[in-house]
């Protein structure tokens, strides 16, 4: 086996040194009746070239070469090449959690920079080293609010990512955290009146997403007022991080729970991604996850360490703020490098391109089908309502190597034949025009079949 | 006046500043292609939601970014540099082909919501890996959704709870040995269970009599790490499983130490009902400085109905798809399907090994731990003489007489060019040195490690002060963690 650095003679020598007669002696503590006396039924050992071929085949079967209009919590942005060249360095790739600070300063300083940039972008004062993803970050942020307020019930906007809400429901069920849902208005935004009616003295927090699942930007200030006047906290989830380049961050929030996948992390069929939690300094001791802090060594030199560990499971065990241990460090490093590359000016320009492509696409689609929530500011997603089932439309776009918008029927049946379309800087005008053309064709054929139908009836 | 001769403290590699300290207006590392659609008036589109300023985000050029992160990287120790014997962390070689195949276009750019018709490659990977892991663990079904070990524990206990709930009562508590990882009790609390401690016996194993006494109808499950954190296989595992099952409890296995078992014994065969795996330990996906991990949960038939949604199924036409309609499911634990990129890597590792390679790997891991044990016996105190599997735990009892603790020895080991072992864990061994070499160490590397450790033991006798002041060769000396926690500085601010 090519990964194993021992010759048969080495194994013999080691066995001799430890006074064993055979390898099986070493497994003697395992009761004999349980020992496996056969080969595992897994594929035979493959050569590296065979492994590459096998996965190339899988890659070809997996939508390779399609343009996509899918967003819905996972965004296709261009990834500058230096991200992979840097994170591929063995010193980053093959290091462990930086518990031994003296030989982990690279990881530690980069996380400190990551925390700083997340603070700058979200308008918060502290950010952690990462959570698993946006869904678990939102959930842990809500649990944090429950601890901080001593209240237990949670009001969630229905236009928060449906899968984020599912994860929250899974966690909340056994912690005595009743969830109430507030609907959305014709604007695509959360219904403030419903929110007003749902939030009360038992509410630990309100959870909204902005830009929300429909791509529209919430009036965070108005939601914050409702939460705060009832003594509840406001948790804002951000699924599309690139929006922070041009959309005002939710400064009125108490906790921001983010998915940083858009910052240079490949779509990768849904993971690994990078959740983050950011909040106010005064709440830091109830924060989950790892934190890096600045300190000095014995010679007064600046250095970085994992800090405030008394919140964490390895110290506090069942009283910890979360059970999280391994997080998403290398993915956070990708996001960190991405933020560094685009920086103060680039992030804004990048976000602007997203905005421009989306504005163009929404306008074009609007000529043939109904674009919902049209009057509300949005970032890079919009909902198109068609006469035909979007699944049927999408099966035709596939023929043009285009993946159409995300059909909303499953989560929002009341919207009928609606789909969530997303444009980023990578979306070409040509792809938009082709997709719009196919939607227009669909509308025409539905209309003409309706007309034919009417004619037939009259006849 | 002549300037005094000073040490070369301005060496660039050793004094890389923060990225913000290199920033100045007008530098850039990006360029966007020209827009192929009309420009937009952002303030008209966004109104008051428009962001005007991005604060102190950096402005630097590409070469500066390359140098910055490359310099930072050189301050890290890594498996690629040498032995990294952190106990229970399984710091094995991370094969490079894994990185290559996970970056193939169709896999790296696959959208989680793309139609199943054009997701057959990803689904095939999920299915093949699932089948392999089910066979390796001897279980009946699996979910790949959990994002890390602790997340797997959470999922596992949710399944346990759903099982008991279906019988009318979720039960109240989880039994956890005192040698367990902190994630175990933290997880139990998250799922709404009380934690009851289980004492280890003089061999470092579960005290079977104590377990029998503590087990009753209020106990939902026992969370057992096997081999446990002492690197000891729970020899009474059959009795343990029987005690649990007799009273309707379940046996949860923390698979953190699965690297000692693969291809030699299967948890499903010795009575485990539910377990998680750490793909970033046993299956070679990189630790990446603290993640991403991946924590699949394998279960016996009785727990299958409760698995998180969606699950991968084979459709009548032979293609693969996701099934969402599972009314008894505990629900989702994460958006989408889990850390897919880690599945690709873990499967590549499994294919590179095959059945013979997996078994040899386990044998080498156990061989190596025993070689380290033999080499350090005498120089360090061995609190439990029970046979070791893949890791061995010593204590600092002999060195503590000179005032030198496990952490001090660890810091001195850095000067010898090794990453330290795990310090002060498991908690049942005061001053623990927990060493897991993994299969990835050659005899030569282990000989160097043993020599270093023995040499440190001598230094403790001769010059404990020098050991207490270690490390002496690193870029920074010991850092003031107390000050860091007392007055936290968690972000850079412009001065």
Report the candidate in A419, A51, A394, A57 with the shortest Cα–Cα distance to residue B116: A394
Cα B435 to its chain centre, rounded Å, is 15
A81 CA: distance to closest CA in chain B (Å): 11
Check pLDDT > 80 for residue A456. Answer: no
Q: What is the mean pLDDT of residues B334-345?
A: 98
Q: How far apart are CA B141 and CA B326, in angstroms?
A: 14
> Measured between alpha carbons, how far apart are the two ends of chain B, in Å?
33
Q: What is the mean pLDDT of residues B34-47?
A: 96
Mean pLDDT of chain B, nearest integer:
95
Q: Is B56 near chain A, with CB under 8 Å?
A: yes
B127 CA: distance to closest CA in chain A (Å): 12
- C-alpha distances in angstroms, A451 versus A376, A438, A448, A456? 34, 20, 5, 9
Contact across the interface for A326 and B59, Cβ inside 8 Å: no
- HSE of A13, CA atoms in CB hemisphere, 13 A: 10
Percent share of chain B, pLDDT over 70: 98
Q: How far apart are CA A233 and CA A254, in angstroms?
A: 6
Task: Determine if the pTM surpasses 0.90.
Answer: yes
In this prediction, the answer to ipTM > 0.90 reads: yes
Q: Give the position of tokens 């949860």.
A: B252
Check pLDDT > 80 for residue B187. Answer: yes
Contact across the interface for A51 and B348, Cβ inside 8 Å: yes
Q: What is the mean pLDDT of residues A89-102?
A: 96
Out of A63, A110, A329, name the one closest to residue B291 (CB).
Answer: A329
Q: How confident is the model at residue B9 (pLDDT cuts 50, 70, 90)?
A: low
Contact across the interface for A296 and B483, Cβ inside 8 Å: yes
Per-residue model confidence as pLDDT tens digits over B278-319: 999 999 999 999 999 999 999 999 999 999 999 999 999 999
Contact across the interface for A52 and B100, Cβ inside 8 Å: yes
Mean pLDDT of chain A, nearest integer:
95
Per-residue model confidence as pLDDT tens digits over A319-331: 888 888 888 999 9
- HSE of B55, CA atoms in CB hemisphere, 13 A: 21
Containing A417, the helix (H) or strand (E) segment is none
Q: Is B233 helix (H, G, I), strand (E, B) or coil?
A: coil
Q: How confident is the model at residue A63 (pLDDT cuts 50, 70, 90)?
A: confident
Q: CB count, 10 Å around CB of B462? A: 9
A231 CA: distance to closest CA in chain B (Å): 25
pLDDT for position A48: 98
pLDDT for position B3: 57
Q: How confident is the model at residue A244 (pLDDT cuts 50, 70, 90)?
A: very high
Q: How confident is the model at residue B247 (pLDDT cuts 50, 70, 90)?
A: very high
pLDDT for position A455: 53
Out of A70, A330, A347, name the one closest to residue B113 (CB).
Answer: A70
Q: Mutate which of B484, B489, B495 to disrupt the A interface (most A C-beta within 10 Å)?
A: B484
Check pLDDT > 70 for residue B10. Answer: no
Residues of B in contact with A66 (CB under 8 A): 114, 118
Q: How far apart are CA A52 and CA B441, in angstroms?
A: 26
Per-residue model confidence as pLDDT tens digits over A127-146: 999 999 999 999 999 999 99
Sheet holding A406-407, edge to edge: A370-371, A381-385, A418-422, A406-407
pLDDT for position A320: 82
Check pLDDT > 80 for residue B458. Answer: yes
pLDDT for position A459: 46
Q: What is the mean pLDDT of residues A446-456?
A: 71
Would strands A153-157 and A179-182 be described as parallel, antiparallel, or unpaired? Answer: parallel
DSSP for B171-194, please give it: -SEEEEETTS-THHHHHHHHTT-E
Q: Is B250 helix (H, G, I), strand (E, B) or coil?
A: strand
Check pLDDT > 80 for residue A170. Answer: yes
Angle between helices A429-458 and A329-366 (to 10 degrees): 50
pLDDT for position B303: 98
Contact predicate B48/A246, CB 8 Å: no
Q: Is B70 near chain A, with CB under 8 Å?
A: yes
Residues of B in contact with A171 (CB under 8 A): 190
Query: Which neighbouring-strand residues pair with A207?
Result: A156, A235
Out of B186, B288, B354, name the one closest to residue A46 (CB).
Answer: B354
């Amino acid at each position: 086996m090519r990964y194993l650095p021992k010759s048969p003679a080495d194994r013999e020598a080691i066995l001799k040194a430890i006074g064993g007669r055979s390898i099986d002696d070493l497994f003697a503590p395992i009761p004999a009746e349980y020992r496996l006396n056969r080969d595992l039924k897994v594929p035979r050992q493959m050569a590296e070239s065979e492994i590459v071929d096998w996965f190339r085949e899988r890659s070809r079967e997996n939508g390779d070469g399609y343009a996509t209009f899918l967003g819905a919590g996972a965004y296709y942005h261009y990834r500058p090449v230096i991200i992979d060249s840097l994170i591929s360095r063995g010193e980053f790739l093959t290091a462990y959690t930086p518990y031994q600070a003296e030989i982990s300063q690279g990881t530690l300083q980069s996380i400190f920079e990551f925390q700083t940039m997340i603070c700058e972008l979200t308008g918060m004062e502290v950010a952690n080293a990462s959570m698993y993803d946006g869904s678990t970050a939102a959930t842990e942020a809500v649990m944090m609010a429950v601890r901080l307020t001593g209240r237990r019930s949670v009001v969630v906007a229905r236009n928060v990512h449906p899968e984020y809400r599912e994860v929250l429901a899974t966690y909340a069920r056994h912690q005595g955290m009743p969830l109430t849902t507030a609907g959305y208005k014709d604007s695509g935004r959360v219904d403030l009146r419903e929110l007003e009616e749902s939030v009360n003295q038992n509410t630990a927090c309100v959870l909204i997403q902005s830009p929300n699942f429909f791509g529209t930007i919430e009036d965070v200030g108005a939601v914050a007022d409702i939460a705060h006047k009832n003594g509840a906290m406001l948790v804002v989830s951000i699924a599309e991080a690139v929006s922070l380049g041009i959309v005002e961050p939710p400064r009125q929030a108490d906790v921001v729970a983010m998915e940083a996948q858009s910052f240079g992390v490949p779509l990768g069929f849904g993971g690994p991604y990078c959740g983050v939690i950011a909040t106010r300094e005064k709440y830091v001791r109830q924060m989950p996850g790892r934190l890096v802090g600045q300190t000095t060594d014995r010679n007064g030199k600046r250095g970085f360490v994992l800090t405030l560990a008394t919140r964490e499971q390895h110290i506090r065990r069942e009283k910890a703020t979360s059970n999280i241990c391994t997080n998403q460090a290398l993915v956070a490093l990708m996001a960190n490098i991405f933020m560094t590359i685009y920086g103060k000016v680039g992030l804004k320009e990048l976000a602007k391109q997203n905005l421009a492509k989306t504005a163009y696409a929404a306008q074009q689609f609007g000529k043939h089908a109904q674009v919902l929530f049209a009057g509300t500011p949005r970032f890079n997603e919009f909902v198109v309502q068609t006469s035909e089932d979007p699944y049927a439309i999408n099966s035709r776009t596939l023929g043009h190597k285009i993946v159409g918008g995300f059909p909303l029927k499953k989560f929002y049946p009341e919207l009928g034949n609606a789909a969530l379309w997303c444009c980023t800087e990578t979306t070409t005008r040509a792809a938009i025009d082709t997709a719009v053309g196919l939607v227009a064709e669909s509308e025409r054929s539905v209309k003409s079949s309706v007309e034919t139908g009417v004619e037939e009836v009259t006849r | 006046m002549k300037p005094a001769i000073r040490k070369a403290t301005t060496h660039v590699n050793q004094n890389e500043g923060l990225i913000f300290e290199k920033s100045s207006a007008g530098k850039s590392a990006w360029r966007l292609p020209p827009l192929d659609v009309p420009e937009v008036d952002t303030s008209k589109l966004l109104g008051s939601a428009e962001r005007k300023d991005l604060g102190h985000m950096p402005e630097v050029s590409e070469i500066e970014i390359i140098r910055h992160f490359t310099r930072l990287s050189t301050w890290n120790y890594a498996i690629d540099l040498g032995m990294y014997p952190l106990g229970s962390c399984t710091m094995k070689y991370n094969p490079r082909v894994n990185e290559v195949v996970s970056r193939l276009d169709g896999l790296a750019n696959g959208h989680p919501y793309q139609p199943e018709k054009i997701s057959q490659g990803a689904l095939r990977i999920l299915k093949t890996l699932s089948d392999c892991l089910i066979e390796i663990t001897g279980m009946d079904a699996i979910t790949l959704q959990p994002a890390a070990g602790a997340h797997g524990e959470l999922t596992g206990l949710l399944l346990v709870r759903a099982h008991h709930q279906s019988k009318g009562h979720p039960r109240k508590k989880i039994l956890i040995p005192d040698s367990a990882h902190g994630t175990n009790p933290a997880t139990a609390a998250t799922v709404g269970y009380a934690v009851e401690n289980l004492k280890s016996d003089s061999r470092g194993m579960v005290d079977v009599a104590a377990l029998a006494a503590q087990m009753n109808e209020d106990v939902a499950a026992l969370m057992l790490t096997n081999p446990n954190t002492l690197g000891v296989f729970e020899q009474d595992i059959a009795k343990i499983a029987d005690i649990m099952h007799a009273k309707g409890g379940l046996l949860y296995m923390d698979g953190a130490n699965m690297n000692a078992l693969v291809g030699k014994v299967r948890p499903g065969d010795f009575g485990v009902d539910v377990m998680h795996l750490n793909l970033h330990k046993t299956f070679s996906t990189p630790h990446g400085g603290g993640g991403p991990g991946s924590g699949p949960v394998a279960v016996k038939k009785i727990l299958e109905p409760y698995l998180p949604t969606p699950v991968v199924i084979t459709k009548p036409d032979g293609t693969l798809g996701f099934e969402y309609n599972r009314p008894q499911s505990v629900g989702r634990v994460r958006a989408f399907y889990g850390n897919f990129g880690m599945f690709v890597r873990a499967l590549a590792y499994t294919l590179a090994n095959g059945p013979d390679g997996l078994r040899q790997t386990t044998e080498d891991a156990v061989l190596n731990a025993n070689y380290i044990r033999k080499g350090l016996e005498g120089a360090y105190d061995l609190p439990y003489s029970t046979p070791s599997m893949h890791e061995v735990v010593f204590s600092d009892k002999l060195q503590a007489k000179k005032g030198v603790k496990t952490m001090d020895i660890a810091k001195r080991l850095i000067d010898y060019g090794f990453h330290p072992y795990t310090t002060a864990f498991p908690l049942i061994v005061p001053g623990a040195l927990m060493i897991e070499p993994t299969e990835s160490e050659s005899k030569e590397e282990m000989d160097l490690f043993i020599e270093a450790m023995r040499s440190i033991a001598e230094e403790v006798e001769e010059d404990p002060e020098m050991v207490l002041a270690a490390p002496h060769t690193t870029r920074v000396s010991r850092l003031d963690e107390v000050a860091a926690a007392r007055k936290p500085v968690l972000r850079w601010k412009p001065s």
